[in-house]
């Protein structure tokens, strides 16, 4: 249930993508598992900065990285590190990984398609679509507010510490339970008045999708987004703790009482605890295809697509009450707007234990980026390599 998306975006900031297929020409050093392998056709000018950004893996912060650059200046694929630290297998750049909260963009796309078809109304309420789901004392909450994180719903009450999460890594969670564990508490704020990034709203959206279509959320994502966008290696994990096909393995650094750390393999993990907010498995190539199709209006019809590039005019939720900590909202309906230097980028980050990822692009798609980093502390502080990747992709 990671809120790291906003932390990743706020650090140096923004996770991103778009592009197409990348063709031959591989250059690598004598130790390919530990330095960047590169594939390119017409090489963009920021490729060398990106190569330096991802070199030197595995390190204490990350075991592997896969990056794709795209846009008007060319395309480039770089990899570094070890996809599996036991075998020292180097990543090729087409390995699957856990997408985390990037799943929310897919969920938003499905909902906005249903809005376009008249099956869901943006001003329709949770109480209308899912009567009895929320406590009677809650105010009416609109679909639009779920989409842009302004619903005011409290987050699900799950312990955040790694030991508890790891002990429950094979638990299959009921989708309604994800909501019921949250709504026993008071609303955080009046709907529409603040923005608070969390998973709860998107899991409610998953339930609405199932209610209005009469089909599973997973099937709707597959038939409405994954198949039409030509995504070959993306799927909803559901209750399967494994990652199907070739993939990078994820690791979490765990400290012992004596201060030393060991890496725990966290690849096998039931993602039902995130469901419609974070259970997808994908590849960097598929995220390029998806974001390219999305930005061009081939996933969400253009009238509704505007919402994915519109940030609500509210402040971010500030539970401290200190006005000095007030910040403007940055999330749209399914994406995030971020300024990297003077460059405005729209994209989405996501992470699960062992995996930190992002995709995004400028509105004209002149610069695009997709990355997946196998962070050894994906729920902690964002590792420097992520900021370096973002800076190389969208900096000067």
Q: Give the start-to-end residue ranges of the domains of the chain.
A: 4-394
Looking at 3.40.630.30, 1.10.3720.10, 3.40.710.10, 3.40.50.150, the CATH number of the domain 4-394 comes to: 3.40.710.10
- Over 50: is that where the pLDDT of 1 sits? no
- Over 90: is that where the pLDDT of 233 sits? yes
Find the range with the poorest average confidence among 74-83, 173-182, 342-351: 173-182
pLDDT, position 37: 66
Percent of the chain with pLDDT over 70: 90
pLDDT, position 157: 78
264 exposed, middle or buried (CB, 10 Å; 0-12, 13-18, 19+)?
Answer: middle
- Over 80: is that where the pLDDT of 41 sits? no
- Please report which confidence band the pLDDT of residue 156 belongs to, taking 50, 70 and 90 as the band edges: confident
Report the greatest alpha carbon distance in the chain: 65
Percent of the chain with pLDDT over 90: 84
The residues that bridge with 355 in the sheet, in sequence order, are 352
pLDDT, position 11: 37
Q: Is the backbone peptide bond immediately before 351 cis, with ω within 30 degrees of 0?
A: no
Cβ-contact 154, 135 below 8 angstroms: no
**What is the average pLDDT across 143-172?**
94
Find the range with the poorest average confidence among 15-24, 102-111, 221-230, 310-319: 15-24
- Over 60: is that where the pLDDT of 27 sits? no
256 exposed, middle or buried (CB, 10 Å; 0-12, 13-18, 19+)?
Answer: exposed
The per-residue pLDDT of the chain, averaged, comes to 90
Phi, psi of 67, rounded to the nearest 5 degrees: -135, 140
**What is the average pLDDT across 347-364?**
97
Give the span between the Cα atoms of 234 and 227, in whole angstroms. Answer: 9
């Amino acid at each position: 249930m990671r809120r790291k998306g906003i932390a990743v975006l706020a650090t140096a900031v923004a996770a991103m993508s778009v592009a197409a297929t990348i063709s031959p020409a591989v250059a690598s050093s004598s130790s390919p598992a530990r330095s960047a392998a590169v594939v390119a056709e017409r090489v963009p000018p920021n490729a060398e900065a990106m190569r330096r950004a991802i070199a030197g893996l595995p390190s204490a912060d990350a075991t592997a990285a896969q990056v794709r650059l795209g846009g008007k200046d060319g395309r480039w694929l770089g990899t570094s590190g070890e996809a599996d630290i036991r075998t020292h297998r180097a990543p090729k750049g087409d390995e699957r990984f856990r997408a985390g909260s990037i799943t929310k963009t897919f969920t938003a796309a499905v909902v906005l398609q249903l809005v376009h078809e008249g099956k869901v109304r943006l001003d329709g309420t949770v109480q209308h679509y899912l009567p009895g789901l929320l406590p009677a004392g809650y105010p009416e909450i609109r679909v639009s507010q779920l989409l842009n994180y302004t619903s005011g719903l409290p987050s699900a009450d799950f312990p955040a510490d790694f030991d508890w999460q790891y002990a429950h890594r094979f638990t299959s969670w009921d989708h309604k339970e994800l909501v019921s564990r949250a709504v026993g508490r008071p609303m955080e704020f009046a709907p529409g008045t603040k923005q608070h990034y969390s998973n709860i709203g998107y899991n409610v959206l998953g339930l609405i999708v199932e209610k209005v279509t009469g089909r599973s959320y997973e099937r709707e994502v597959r038939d409405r987004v994954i198949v039409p966008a030509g995504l070959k290696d993306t799927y909803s994990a559901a209750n399967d703790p494994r990652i199907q096909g070739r993939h990078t393995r994820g690791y979490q650094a765990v400290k012992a009482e004596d201060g030393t750390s060991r890496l725990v393999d966290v690849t096998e993990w039931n993602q039902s605890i995130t469901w419609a907010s974070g259970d997808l498995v994908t590849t960097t190539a598929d995220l390029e295809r998806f974001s390219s199709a999305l930005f061009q209006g081939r996933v969400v019809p253009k009238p509704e697509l505007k919402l994915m590039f519109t940030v609500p005019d509210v402040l971010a939720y500030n539970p401290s009450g200190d006005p000095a900590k007030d910040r403007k909202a940055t999330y749209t309906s399914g994406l995030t707007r971020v300024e990297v230097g003077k460059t405005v980028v729209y994209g989405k980050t996501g992470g699960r234990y062992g995996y930190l990822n992002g995709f995004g692009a400028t509105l004209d798609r002149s610069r695009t980026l997709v990355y997946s980093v196998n962070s050894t502390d994906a729920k902690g502080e964002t590792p420097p390599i992520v900021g370096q990747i973002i800076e190389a992709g969208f900096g000067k």
